[in-house]
């Protein structure tokens, strides 16, 4: 249970000037966690200085925000806030514990302490930085669930718009319960009510794929290489972008593990996915594998057992080979 950490958090933040932020290319979980945490802090922390900084917001999150604000016009979601060097006592970073994914200038060299609240594998890096508190637990399928527990623990009654946000975040990050567990379903059932209709929330999360994304997926399928490892099928392919969506599609069509990468001028990104039962049966943890390979090769990676990503600049082929070797090793055990 995170209860003692919730107490630490409240004590620590009292009277502080706080900046809440999340990873770049904000997803719905990052967004909802930031917005609801700000609501919580405004009620429970004796501070008038609580700021929210949202970096670049992903396309699907923007689509969601548009539908959401039509439904709840009273809730303002600060879409574009310039990060100014406000006088801040503490950075509260949500939905990542990797400073490489945080878009605050000079975050690595600044002296301002950091708190992480996150559900990804604890990277245990950033050792040089002053990390005051880590509320990190990868048993949760979303950061929104940790924020919800925080609100529950301090008996904060959430209004409908905040509940709506949390449900949307939990659903998307748990892959509509695919990566979830009993607690995920329990939390959703506590958040739903007569005024919050499940089907309606689902409809705001429906994403019509754009033509470039559809083409990316089709081309990726044409190029996919099949590797059979015992009873398991690994798919590997490359695309110009949408590698995460491509990696998920490979799983949907029948691969047990997928690797999709894209190369851009600024570097490459490798997305990996695995079926949940493959992880449970073999102990495969893609987040751990990508983290280890990153550390060996000077890249930046991590994530969950069944979904993880890596960003790098050099040695793409070597890194992919290393990732594949480790995946095969675990599958063969």
List 16, 23, 29, 291, residue binding Mn ion (CB under 5 A)? 29
When the beta carbons of 29 and 256 are compared against Mn ion, the nearer one is 29
Q: How far is CA 224 from the centre of its chain?
A: 26
CA distance 250 to 256: 8
Question: Nearest approach, Cβ of 291 to Mn ion (angstroms)?
Answer: 16
**Nearer Cβ to Mn ion (134/219):** 134
Beta carbon nearer to Mn ion, 236 or 307: 307
Q: Both ends of the chain: CA-CA distance in Å?
A: 32
Beta strands, E only, 67-217: 90-94, 114-118, 131-136
Tell me the C-alpha distance between 168 and 71, whole Å: 14
| Residue in 100, 173, 256, 305 binding Mn ion, rule: CB under 5 A | 173
- Judged by CB under 5 A, does residue 145 bind Mn ion? no
Region 94-133 residues binding Mn ion, contact defined as CB under 5 A: 95
d(CA 239, CA 262): 5
Q: Which stretch binds Mn ion (CB under 5 A): 24-32, 104-112, 181-189, 219-227?
A: 24-32
Strand locations in 178-284 (E): 225-229, 232-239, 257-264, 267-274
E strand segments, the chain: 18-22, 50-53, 90-94, 114-118, 131-136, 225-229, 232-239, 257-264, 267-274, 300-303, 307-312
| Closer residue to Mn ion in complex, CB, 235/306 | 306
Which position's Cβ is nearest Mn ion? 29
Nearest distance from C-beta of residue 119 to Mn ion, angstroms: 6
Q: Which stretch binds Mn ion (CB under 5 A): 77-85, 92-100, 292-300, 325-333?
A: 92-100
Q: Quick one: 185 or 253, whose CB is closer to Mn ion?
A: 185
Residues in contact with Mn ion by CB under 5 A are 29, 95, 143, 173
């Amino acid at each position: 249970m995170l209860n003692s950490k919730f107490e630490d958090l409240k004590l620590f933040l009292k009277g502080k000037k706080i900046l809440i932020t999340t990873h770049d290319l904000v997803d719905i979980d990052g967004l909802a966690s930031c917005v609801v945490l700000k609501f919580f802090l405004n009620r429970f922390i004796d501070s008038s200085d609580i700021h929210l900084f949202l970096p670049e917001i992903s396309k699907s999150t923007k689509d969601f925000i548009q539908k959401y604000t039509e439904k709840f016009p009273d809730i303002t979601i600060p879409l574009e806030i310039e990060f100014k060097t406000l006088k801040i006592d503490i950075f509260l970073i949500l939905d990542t514990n990797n400073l490489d994914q945080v878009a605050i200038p000079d975050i690595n060299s600044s002296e301002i302490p950091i708190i992480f609240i996150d559900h990804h594998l604890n990277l245990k890096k950033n050792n040089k930085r002053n990390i005051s508190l880590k509320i990190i637990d990868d048993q949760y399928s979303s950061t929104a669930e940790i924020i919800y527990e925080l609100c529950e623990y301090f008996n904060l009654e959430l209004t409908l718009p905040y509940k709506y946000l949390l449900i949307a975040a939990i659903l998307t990050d748990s892959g509509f319960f695919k990566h979830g567990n009993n607690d995920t379903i329990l939390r959703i059932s506590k958040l739903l009510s007569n005024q919050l209709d499940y089907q309606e929330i689902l409809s705001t999360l429906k994403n019509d794929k754009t033509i470039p994304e559809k083409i990316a997926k089709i081309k990726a399928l044409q190029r996919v290489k099949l590797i059979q490892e015992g009873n398991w099928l690994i798919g590997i392919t490359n695309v110009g972008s949408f590698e995460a969506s491509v990696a998920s599609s490979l799983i949907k069509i029948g691969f047990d593990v997928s690797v999709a990468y894209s190369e851009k001028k600024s570097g490459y990104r490798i997305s990996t996915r695995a079926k949940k039962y493959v992880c449970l049966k073999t102990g495969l943890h893609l987040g751990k594998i990508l983290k280890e390979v990153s550390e060996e090769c000077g890249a930046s990676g991590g994530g969950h057992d069944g979904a993880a990503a890596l960003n790098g600049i050099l040695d793409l082929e070597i890194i992919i080979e290393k990732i594949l070797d480790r995946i095969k090793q675990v599958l063969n055990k």
